[in-house]
Structure 1
């Protein structure tokens, strides 16, 4: 088993290296679309900034970053995990620091937190769990991990690159169960889906959203988000990309370079799915689903049935981050550190706010009235749109 896990992990690493090479070649041809002058149509401003000493967030899992899970929402706080192993909890409204801890190693994942317990995985393969800012325990993992742990119900859940799931007691680190299913040799080394619906643990198993009993680790159901397509193993790779965009019982998710779709976890059914390229997390709200394709063309679709509503090519090849729908706008960042606010119903740009000039990585997150993004150079910027 250990040998098999190593083969899969190495295959995933090779895929990331190949993707970076292809991206570099594409960059030589596909030039970023210049931004048009914009007179702000809504107001918004930066409320605080936290620098973590150049600990580049995107370095954790290559150019894709580790998604919004690098910046976890815990009630009225943000819990931040930086590449150098520093964890910080701050008040979302003011940026005031609640606690700070060093887990003693560079991170391979973002941070997962339920407000009390926080957990990360180091590059040495150690799962480290804290109570507030105090380290409780660490457990060495055999499988490589790039998805932030999920913390709930005094349990810590870990999704491996090999698609295995493990559950640990949050108080003492005791391993409770392991779910492992033989699968494809090639898997994606990018943060995947690991979340919950009511009393069910949800994770991405290839292109399928899979539900486990969190107490036993047994499968309850599986629903495909996309149908893998292509002529070879790389083209057919369609692992789910995290984080999922949740609206009630509906989870809207991207399958890497294969498609996007929405699943109703209450009814255990796929609502719709479309074929489209792209590698970043999508956004969703009560009415719409927002996504960028492989060339950063933006689209909005009806959440209920996937019907296309608008398309925008104003941000092509700008290496966009994941997306977040908040109020009447959809928000995302680009490779120059700009944070864009678009009218969710028309795609019209409304506001553009700067960060530090380095790429916005992952996806924006929200706690209360505060919106936060992370940048490649290791800073967190908090904004308050009005």
Structure 2
């Protein structure tokens, strides 16, 4: 329903529930140690890549989403620093200070950059200056979407809010009943044609960006289990989009594709992963929670190949670039696999602190950001 019915108590409870989810997931990770990954074989280079530049920014510990806009990349750090770099050279083009730690970012249309702070403020920036900020009714762990002169925010309480990009005036708010637990990681929020597509619980929802009214809903994953943690079903950030087709992952439940023109579910397959997807016209790629990398056929959802050489490594959402599908891992390595069969093409090193976000590409440069704040640009040899 459209905003107006949520009380301060309900919003407070939604805030508490998202914190509980973070504690629950962290507890599971601590209570169940991951097996030690097997040593990697010697790197046999099948595709030539070299490091072109590297710069240092403050540390990154929140669910960063790097925005690639033309020849520029926009990223941010824990302390509220938002930086725009020239992807070809690594040269800093602008820097802004939000003034407080961040919970989500960065959304950008190449002109306006937007982030969310830990105090639940959405902040819009242009270059090195702040345009406006607005207090949200709940936490958000998803980078705002900046599109069509507006800034859209996906809340941890299953809300979607639209703001005027020029002055921050709230245009509408779509609210859903809050779940007992939600994920403290980026969700799904993107534009497909004239439809805003958001991940709400285990469903992709098509929203009219002008009014906030729901046009369609499509289930990707269904709730299961006997307790709140087991019944958690959330769509995670990083989607494969091809035309009007969007493929997304429901956390540790399923991978599915829908037609965003009308909300028709094309297929859904069981899958046990916690990070997003990428793909091309033929294949959808993603990593399972145990580090196995899978490719599904985009037309049917049938498995095309599986690579288990990275098993038990914590992998990022992928990037499809050229003939490669690229993952970062928690040790700071960047793995370039073949789109055709999953075989290793190259392995790149950074600073060993762990890759903080899905890799991006801009200006023929592969850009990766580490948790220690290292930003690395790689180019073909």
Give the Å deviation of 1:252. Answer: 1.3
Change (3 A) 1:25 1:385: farther
- Does the aligned pair in 2 maintain the 1:291–1:298 contact within 8 Å? yes
The one of 128, 144, 154 equivalent to 1:133 is: 128
1:31-89 per-position Cα deviation (integer Å, ceiling 9, x unaligned)? 12221112111100112222113x2x2x22xxxx33xx2x1112221011111111111
2:339 is aligned with 1:333: no
Aligned to 2:318: 323
Where has structure 1 moved over 6 Å in runs of 4 or more?
A: none
The Cα offsets for residues 114-142 of structure 1, whole Å up to 9 and x where unpaired, read as 01111111112221111222211111112
| Secondary structure of the structure 2 residue equivalent to 1:363 | coil
Partners of 1:268 and 1:222 in 2: how far apart? 6
Match for 1:370 among 365, 373, 378? 365
1:56-205 to structure 2, matched below 5 A, reads: 57=60, 59-60=61-62, 65-66=63-64, 69=65, 71-205=66-200
Q: Which whole-Å CA distance do the structure 2 matches of 1:25 and 1:345 have between them?
A: 37
- Is 1:15 the counterpart of 2:10 in the alignment? no
Q: Find the counterpart in structure 1 of residue 303 from structure 2.
A: 308
Cα distance between partner residues in 2 of 1:8 and 1:172: 27
Instruction: Flag structure 2 segments of 5+ consecutive residues without an equivalent.
Output: 1-6
* Unmatched 5+ stretches in structure 1: none
- Partner of 1:234, secondary structure, is helix
Paired residues, number: 375
Following superposition, the deviation at residue 231 of structure 1 comes to: 2.2
* Pairs within 5 Å for 1:343-354: 343-354=338-349
C-alpha distance in structure 2 between counterparts of 1:12 and 1:277, whole Å = 21
Give the 3-state SS of the residue equivalent to 1:7 in structure 2: helix
> 1:183, CA displacement in angstroms?
3.9
User: Does the 8 Å CA contact 2:238/2:278 hold for their aligned counterparts?
Assistant: no
Q: Supply the distance in 1 between the matched residues of 2:299 and 2:262 (Cα, whole angstroms).
A: 14
CA distance in 2, matches of 1:103, 1:8: 25
RMSD, aligned α-carbons: 1.4
2:20·2:181 contact (CA, 8 Å) conserved in 1? no
Corresponding residue of 2:4: none
* TM, length-normalised to structure 1: 0.94
Counterpart of 1:9 in 2: which secondary structure?
helix
For the 8 Å contact 2:240–2:248, the answer to whether it is kept is yes
Say whether the 8 Å CA contact 1:87–1:100 is kept in structure 2. Answer: yes
Question: Could you report, residue by residue, the CA deviation over 1:318-355 in whole angstroms, capped at 9, with x for unpaired residues?
Answer: 11111111111110011110101011111111100100
2:366, 2:379 within 8 Å by CA — same for their partners in 1? yes
Q: 5 Å matches for 1:259-278?
A: 259-278=254-273
Q: How does 1:182-261 map to 2 (within 5 A)?
A: 182-261=177-256
Match for residue 39 of structure 2 among 34, 47, 57: 34
How does the TM-score come out when normalised to structure 2? Answer: 0.95
Q: Does 1:281 align with 2:276?
A: yes
Equivalent position of 1:48 in the other structure: 53
